[in-house]
Amino acid sequence: MIRTTFYRFLIFVVLCAFASHTNAQSKPFNPSKDTLVISVAGNDPFIVEDEDTDELRGISIDIWEEMAYKNNWQYRYISYPTVNKALKAVEKGDSDLAIGPISITSSRVKKLMFSQPYYQSSLAIGSRADGLGLWGRIKPLFSLKLLIAVGVFLFILAIVGTLLWLAEHKASPEQFPRDPKRGIGNGMWLAIVTMSTTGYGDMAPVTLRGRIVAGIWMVITIIFATSMVAGIASTLTLTGMGDSTITKVEELANKKSATVAGSPATTFVKEHKSKPIVVDTFDEALKLLDEKKVDAVVYDRPQLLYFQQNNKEEDLYVAKAEYYKQGYGFAFPLNSEFVYQVNLELLKLAEEREIEDIVAEYLGKE
């Protein structure tokens, strides 16, 4: 009898515990009454801290606060030094969500839930623009490659001028004097005029041998002159950009590139045979570039452009090419019931073009 009573009591306790657990799980999440704990991390222009008031603003903050205001959501911020640490807090349950320039990646989706992207970002390459000043413009004129190219060109002209003089100086001494110095000089002048198709008409070969030399020279210049001029122009352009300015990803090879921990840029840099120098923050990466300890900073394009626009004295050059396009979203715990509501509000803001206006406030119109 006592044993039967004990078993009934035990079953009753288990059922009560199960019912209590079920009710606790099914309790609806109400952000209007429950104060949300929000992890904040990132840098300008997505997270901007006012130095005087310590208040937070930026693209991510403004989008979140617009949604919170319309829905009367209660919240408080906790700032973290890096995005990875903010995501760890969400993963451990210390925060209800994380906001900032958080890339939605496959490795992160395994541990967290994400909202739909509210901004499409990409990677870009930032480097020093040392070669773009006055000296950078005239420096190519003294480069060894250009001097060699000009020297070879003058040597070829001298050969053609000599051949024209040898063919013409007896039959046309008024055009090609017997004096080699003057005669070869006139021959070089005729070669230049012929090559450039200027056609002054002041000189022309009169002998068969002279016309054969001039004709061969015309064919050669038609075939090779364009390539030669393009090569010289390319040398001027590349040298004019300066040794420290990187304009395309191929130039990263065998150079040091600063990246931020957790950013897809680390993998990108390794794939292009550059040595990644991984730091915790974007500011640290820029400091290494300024101190010439790295050759480039590979990071999210909007942050690089925002820094360039607001720090023109730093001479940062941002390459035009975009790589690894990725979305920024808000991060939630895997069991969060709040993602659907946030996605719905993000869609509304996008349809009303409010997100576009917020982005334009910080980055300008595309």
**pTM to 2 decimals?**
0.58
State how far the Cα of 336 lies from the Cα of 348, in Å rounded to an integer. 21
Number of domains in the chain: 3
- State the pLDDT at residue 6: 41
- State the pLDDT at residue 275: 92
- State the pLDDT at residue 27: 43
- State the pLDDT at residue 230: 67
- Answer whether residue 96 shows pLDDT above 80: yes
Distant-in-sequence, close-in-space partners of 164: CB < 8 Å, separation ≥ 6: 176, 187, 190, 191, 205, 210, 213, 214
Q: Which residue has the higher pLDDT, 180 or 146?
A: 180
Region 119-129 average pLDDT: 91
- Answer whether residue 16 shows pLDDT above 80: no
Do residues 305 and 335 both lie within one domain? no
- Answer whether residue 154 shows pLDDT above 70: yes
Tens of pLDDT, residue by residue over 32-72, are: 568 999 999 998 899 998 877 889 999 999 999 999 999 99
Whether 12 is covered by a domain: the verdict is no
Do residues 211 and 170 both lie within one domain? yes
- State the pLDDT at residue 174: 86
Do residues 149 and 212 both lie within one domain? yes
Whether 123 is covered by a domain: the verdict is no
Q: Tell me which residue of 83, 79, 40 sits closest to 62, measured CA to CA.
A: 40
- State the pLDDT at residue 348: 95
Domain that holds residue 214: 136-240
Do residues 260 and 217 both lie within one domain? no
Do residues 48 and 81 both lie within one domain? yes
Of 140-149, 153-162, 266-275, 355-364, minimum mean pLDDT range:
140-149
Do residues 35 and 93 both lie within one domain? yes
Indicate the average pLDDT of the chain: 83
Do residues 176 and 224 both lie within one domain? yes
Region 328-344 average pLDDT: 94
- Answer whether residue 21 shows pLDDT above 50: no
Do residues 272 and 315 both lie within one domain? yes
State how far the Cα of 256 lies from the Cα of 93, in Å rounded to an integer. 37
- State the pLDDT at residue 130: 65
Do residues 109 and 159 both lie within one domain? no
- State the pLDDT at residue 225: 65
DSSP string, 150-182: HHHHHHHHHHHHHHHHHHHTTT-TTTS-SSHHH
